[in-house]
Each structure stands twice: as structure tokens, then as C-alpha cells.
């Protein structure tokens, strides 16, 4: 992206501050009438009143901070996302503003266009085919249960966890996604993460700490791993080793919705396959931006500012720092 395109991107980003954008901000207001029978007392703080979630599902999310919906995304849609990812890997399509990441174990090796080179793409909002994921009615119907109506798609990823090199760098350290997001309130943010194939502990499933969404945002740092650590893979050290953890074994199309304070990570990939998942963080358009200066999130701001300076030549010291974060997070 050149500086002109970066400026255009910034305008889009700034647009989000005031209103929902046509593309990245998914306009979605299908709130349905609430029948008297579905009224629930106000002790619920993480879910919204509507007719989608059963009382049992609401209670589960409230208590645990995540909810798995089986077979939510069709095989046909998953195949389309997979095909498009392969086209991107082969260099046949290059959506603007998308960030392509390589695993730390191969970051310096020669680039051969194939899925073996790319561990993650993010910010694919300009790619119509991949961004369809964020507009699927079956996804949005559940998202609305957490964010309420007027939903924005804030951050997109397709994760292609590579076979581990033996140094366990394919792990994703335990973290809270809110660390990356300079907007609030956290209860109006939710991640949808869909398995694109069978995922279990062998190929590095998600591991979640139920109930941790009720806590606070903890300080994050890069873990000191022998084989190095991937860019932006911050982790927390301060968590209770003994607190129960759940490994989410999922089938193709299964989707987990989770709260941005939920402590989670994923294990290393012991197989020879490339484990794929597609995800989007959604937020209510009512969310507001915060200034992260003086908070534990400042570390991300500094790194993102370095990155956009290096990649796009945008000055580091600018009053637009908070907005520039969104160049990554959209």
C-alpha cells in the first residue's frame, strides 16, 4: 500500500468513528420482537434479549464466556473460503490492505507461492469472497445475541496453522483478544471463529479458560520461547495454572462465539496438515474508542505505529494514533 492508499484507508477508518461503513461495518438491524415468554431477568450482562439463544445457551455464555454452535457454516461456504485462500497463496489475487503473515520458523526462507508460506491473513475486508464470511446470516444471527443490532466487523483473519517445526512456534500463547482492541465496552464485542476442518488437540485446537471473561484485561508480553514467537502473538503470564481449561474439539463448520476477555490460545500442530479456521471480531456500532496511553495496551500501539511507519511511511508521532490502530484491527 502506498501513502495515498494508506490515507484512503485511514479515511475509511475514521468513517467508522462516526457511522457504519457499507463494507466493513456490516449494517445489520434485524432485531426481532421479544415475546413475553422470552423475557429474562436483568442478571444477564453478556447476552442480549432476543429469540435466538435458548435460556440454556444464554446461561452457558454468561457463565463461561463462549458458546459453540455445531454445523453453523455450510461445507459449500467453507470450500469457497478455502479456494479463495489458495488463490491468494498462489498470488492470483491480492486484496488491498490485507496483511499476510508467515510463521516465525520460515519467515526468512525463500518465498514459494503456496499455502506452506502463509500462516495467517488478516484484514481481508476488501476481499469480497472471504468477507462473505462476515455477512453470513447464520453468523450474524448469533453475533447479534452478544453485540445487539448495528454490528460492525472489526477484525478478520484466516488462520492456516502450519505443521510445527519441532520448536512449538505454531502455538498461540494464552491471551485475551481485548488487548488488541482500543474500543469498549468489551461486552459488546464478540469473536466468531469457524473450524474449516476437523480440529482437535493433534492439529492445535483452541483452548479456553471458562469464566475468565468475568475478569479484567491482564498485562500481555511476548513469551520467551526458544524457537522465537510470531509477530503480535502476545501472551499472559499471570493466570491460574490450576484453573480448568477446555480444549474445543470442533468439526468443519462448527463455530465458537467468545468474549474478548476470555483467556484462550491454541496448541501446536503435530500433524503434517495446515489447520485452517476463519474468524471475525464483531462489535456494536455503539462502541467508542479509547486512548490506550498509559494502559497495558500501549505496547500494541507502539508496535503497530512502528509497523505502519515501516510499511507505509506514516509518521509515528501523530494525534491519529488511536485511529491508526484500526488500520490493523479493521
Ligand X SMILES: O=C(O)CCC(=O)C(=O)O
Nearer Cβ to ligand X (177/301): 177
Closer Cβ to ligand X, 145 or 278, answer by number: 278
Q: Out of 9, 58, 102, 172, name the contact with ligand X by CB under 6 A.
A: 172
What is the SS3 string spanning the chain? CCHHHHHHHHHHHHHHHHCCCCCCCCCCCCCCCCCHHHCCCCCCCCCCCCCCCCHHHHHHHHHHCEEEECCCCCHHHHHHHHHHHHHHHCCCCCCCCCEEECCCCCCCCCCCCCHHHCCEEECCCCCHHHHHHHHCHHHHHHHHHHHCCCEEEEEEEEEEECCCCCCCCCCEEEECHHHHCCEECHHHEEEEEEECCCECCCCCCEEECCCHHHCCCCCCECCCCCCCCCCCCCECCCCCCCCCCEEECECCCCEEEECCCCCEEECCCCCCCCEEEEEEEEEECCCEECCCCCCCCHHHHHHHHHHHHHHHCCCCCCCCHHHHHHHHHC
Question: How many of the chain's residues bind ligand X (CB under 6 A)?
Answer: 8
* Complex with ligand X: residue 21 or 194, whichever CB lies closer: 194
Q: How far is the CB of 8 from ligand X (least distance, A)?
A: 27
For position 218 contacting ligand X by CB under 6 A, the verdict is no
Smallest distance, ligand X to C-beta of residue 119, A:
10
Nearer to ligand X among residue 48 and residue 119 (C-beta): 119
Binding mask 148-167 for ligand X (x = CB under 6 A): ---------x-x-x------
Binding status of residue 195 toward ligand X by CB under 6 A: no
Residues in region 34-53 near ligand X by CB under 6 A = none
CB of 191 to ligand X, least distance (A): 7
Question: Interface with ligand X includes 259 (CB under 6 A)?
Answer: no
Q: Indicate the residue among 58 and 161 with the shorter CB distance to ligand X.
A: 161
Q: Does 177 bind ligand X (CB under 6 A)?
A: yes
Instruction: State which residue, 50 or 147, has the beta carbon closest to ligand X.
Output: 147
Site for ligand X in 261-290 (CB under 6 A): 264, 266, 277
Query: Contact residues for ligand X (CB under 6 A)?
Result: 157, 159, 161, 172, 177, 264, 266, 277
Amino acid at each position: 500500500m502506498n501513502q495515498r492508499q494508506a490515507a484512503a484507508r485511514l479515511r475509511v477508518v475514521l468513517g467508522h468513528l462516526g457511522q457504519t461503513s457499507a463494507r466493513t461495518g456490516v449494517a445489520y438491524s434485524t432485531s426481532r420482537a421479544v415475546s413475553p415468554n422470552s423475557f429474562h431477568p436483568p442478571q444477564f450482562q453478556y447476552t442480549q434479549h432476543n429469540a435466538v439463544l435458548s435460556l440454556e445457551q444464554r446461561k452457558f455464555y454468561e457463565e463461561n464466556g463462549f458458546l459453540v454452535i455445531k454445523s453453523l457454516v455450510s461445507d459449500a461456504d467453507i470450500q469457497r473460503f478455502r479456494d479463495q485462500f489458495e488463490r491468494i497463496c498462489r498470488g492470483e489475487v491480492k486484496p488491498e490492505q490485507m496483511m499476510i503473515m508467515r510463521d516465525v520458523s520460515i519467515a526468512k526462507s525463500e518465498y514459494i507461492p503456496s499455502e506452506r508460506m502463509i500462516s495467517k491473513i488478516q484484514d481481508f475486508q476488501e476481499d469480497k469472497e472471504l468477507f462473505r464470511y462476515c455477512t453470513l446470516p447464520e453468523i450474524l444471527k448469533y453475533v447479534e445475541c452478544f453485540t445487539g443490532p448495528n454490528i460492525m466487523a472489526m477484525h478478520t483473519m484466516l488462520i492456516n496453522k502450519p505443521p510445527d517445526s519441532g520448536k512449538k512456534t505454531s502455538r498461540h500463547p494464552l491471551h485475551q483478544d481485548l488487548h488488541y482492541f482500543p474500543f469498549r465496552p468489551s461486552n459488546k464485542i464478540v469473536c466468531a471463529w469457524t473450524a474449516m476442518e476437523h480440529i482437535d488437540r493433534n492439529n492445535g485446537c483452541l483452548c479456553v479458560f471458562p469464566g475468565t471473561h468475568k475478569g479484567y484485561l491482564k498485562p500481555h508480553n511476548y513469551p520467551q520461547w526458544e524457537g522465537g514467537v510470531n509477530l503480535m502473538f502476545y501472551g499472559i503470564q499471570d493466570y491460574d495454572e490450576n484453573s480448568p481449561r477446555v480444549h474445543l474439539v470442533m468439526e468443519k463448520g462448527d463455530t465458537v462465539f467468545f468474549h474478548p476477555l476470555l483467556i484462550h490460545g491454541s496448541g501446536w500442530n503435530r500433524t503434517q496438515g495446515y489447520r485452517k479456521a476463519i474468524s471475525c471480531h464483531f462489535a456494536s456500532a455503539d462502541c467508542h474508542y479509547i486512548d490506550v496511553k498509559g494502559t497495558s495496551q500501549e505496547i500494541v500501539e507502539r508496535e503497530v505505529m512502528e509497523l505502519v511507519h515501516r510499511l507505509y511511511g506514516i509518521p509515528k508521532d501523530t494525534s491519529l494514533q488511536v485511529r491508526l490502530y484500526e488500520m490493523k484491527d479493521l
